[in-house]
Structure 1
């Protein structure tokens, strides 16, 4: 045990990995979730950071619309997609990652996602406060100081496991962040840069100095023991886990994985537009993130639809089921909303900050712009 706590619910493994291959920072928690599901891994907290920079896009994003892939290639920046939602982000060793992977039915893990975030983010909130930063939890899943974001967090379910990923931001490369984004013009990029500086902060900006990363790490580890009521035992990857990591690596580098959430299948090469068919696309900003819809209608019914964006949805596999359920639905707001609500019930969908009405509104907007 690293720090004593009053009541221990469970023993979790601690993987204190330090700097690791950038792609592996995104593969490892997926692998552990798979291992938990298959009985090969235990509940685990991972502490790490990337040895080299990378761009990580959310599970539901359309990468070609959000990330400047050409810039990333020219600058040798690794780009991959993660298994949980949220937006695209530039990551480097100025951040300390905490990744928690535990069984969904663990006594430590609240089922409602809002309660889960509140409980599992107590430790990083207190770690910031221990550095003299008046951080606070801000729903849906942010940690803020003076209305500025100082930690990015996301959660998702993979098999029988729930994953939380987040970061303690010691320093941040604002200029590189805006360079990796796909934007309509350089003037717009300047606006994004100013917006980022206005609404985001770091430990360095708040305190005027850089703390020792190891000290921040050890404080965070102890706080997780206290706030979750667990005992952490240092461990290593098993041979099974190392093998699964190697198996997953080609997937995380593949074009199929990078571009799977794409409206491209509804582009001009495949969409039939006539008196009885049309294609529409629209975006809508909900409390929980941006929703983007690309859809084809034939004779006033949805034939094909892609729902993407930087929101979160649990389980993540439900997005495909929702899209399939919407096919054949009459293009009326009431019918669309009813079908979405039915899907939320059928697949036990939880999308913090995104209501069925938000998705229905985006679909309606897509066809208003035909």
Structure 2
């Protein structure tokens, strides 16, 4: 266990700060200012993050965001929309050329997600990797359908993850729900009518599951964080050194958040 990575615990922040900080970590690692870094964080308010290329005009119900006081942000990574609420979120930045990281996006995800698999085991949840038999159609809601090597229990998706590579660095981040407010979630998407909203809401209960549902227990954020910290530590086989941002680094994050991530409801609404 000769290599040392950073472990950064930033607690709960606004959506635009969370996404800016993930991008800042990518930049700092690219510039050689920090080693590979694992970050755990939460969300100050319920927040909807949408994929970098996701078209929201015909899928996101913005009055629903206002109704529930949800924040809205566009991620640096791709994929579908994710409601972040009662969950643990993680991010990892590591060089694309790191010996532990395969060149294939899919295989790199498999390597990094082993820590997630082990974290679930630490909570008493026996998850497995999803390997689709055929290509499935993308949906607007992230947790409606698992992708290659995402984790499932009895066919139900239990975490959502996304990845990008920029400046020679791989950034992967993901959502590990402790509990999901399904009524809130389905208020955030457009459906032809209320009957279809209810049909999709009922179907969703058979497609996704949370830590609370799978264990019948109420875990705190800190307990879940510790389970996944040990999961990543055992699978990555590295030492973790606590990392805290300096005042100037926080200033850089705030500037990036204002410039790239502080989005208001789009003008077409």
* TM-score higher than 0.5: yes
| 1:199 aligned counterpart, secondary structure | coil
Q: Contact 1:68/1:181 (CA < 8 Å) preserved in 2?
A: yes
User: Cα deviation per residue 1:327-353 (whole Å; 9 max; x = unaligned)?
Assistant: xxxxxxxxxxxxxxxxxxxxxxxxxxx
| 1:48 aligned counterpart, secondary structure | strand
TM-score normalised over the length of structure 2: 0.86
User: Cα deviation per residue 1:7-40 (whole Å; 9 max; x = unaligned)?
Assistant: 33x2111111222223222221111112222333
Q: Contact 2:118/2:232 (CA < 8 Å) preserved in 1?
A: no
TM-score normalised over the length of structure 1: 0.64
Q: Distance in 1 between matches of 2:27 and 2:203?
A: 38
Match of 1:95 among 87, 90, 96: 87
Q: Quote the offset at 1:148 in angstroms.
A: 0.3
2:5 pairs with 1:12? yes
Q: Contact 2:151/2:157 (CA < 8 Å) preserved in 1?
A: yes
Q: Contact 1:33/1:160 (CA < 8 Å) preserved in 2?
A: no
| 2:158 aligned counterpart, secondary structure | strand
Q: Which runs of 5+ in 2 are unaligned?
A: 132-147
Q: Distance in 1 between matches of 2:84 and 2:226?
A: 21
Q: Distance in 1 between matches of 2:49 and 2:194?
A: 22
User: Cα deviation per residue 1:71-104 (whole Å; 9 max; x = unaligned)?
Assistant: 2134431111001011112111x11011111111
Q: Contact 1:141/1:153 (CA < 8 Å) preserved in 2?
A: no
2:56 pairs with 1:31? no
Q: Contact 1:47/1:217 (CA < 8 Å) preserved in 2?
A: yes
* 2:105 paired residue number: 113
Q: Contact 2:89/2:175 (CA < 8 Å) preserved in 1?
A: yes
Q: Distance in 1 between matches of 2:115 and 2:96?
A: 19
Match of 2:243 among 230, 235, 244: 235
| 2:202 aligned counterpart, secondary structure | helix
Q: Contact 1:95/1:169 (CA < 8 Å) preserved in 2?
A: yes
2:128 pairs with 1:136? yes
Q: Quote the offset at 1:197 in angstroms.
A: 0.7
* 1:199 paired residue number: 207
Instruction: Choose between structure 1 and 2 for higher RCO, CA contacts under 8 A separated by at least 6 residues.
Output: 2
| 2:80 aligned counterpart, secondary structure | coil
Q: Distance in 2 between matches of 1:208 and 1:235?
A: 34
Q: Quote the offset at 1:141 in angstroms.
A: 4.0
Listed as ranges, the matches of 1:265-280 within 5 Å are none
Match of 1:186 among 194, 214, 222: 194
| 1:170 aligned counterpart, secondary structure | strand
* 1:84 paired residue number: 77
CA RMSD of superposed structures (Å)? 1.9
Q: Distance in 2 between matches of 1:213 and 1:239?
A: 26
Q: Quote the offset at 1:131 in angstroms.
A: 2.1
Q: For the pair shown, which has the larger CA radius of gyration, 1 or 2?
A: 1
| 1:200 aligned counterpart, secondary structure | coil
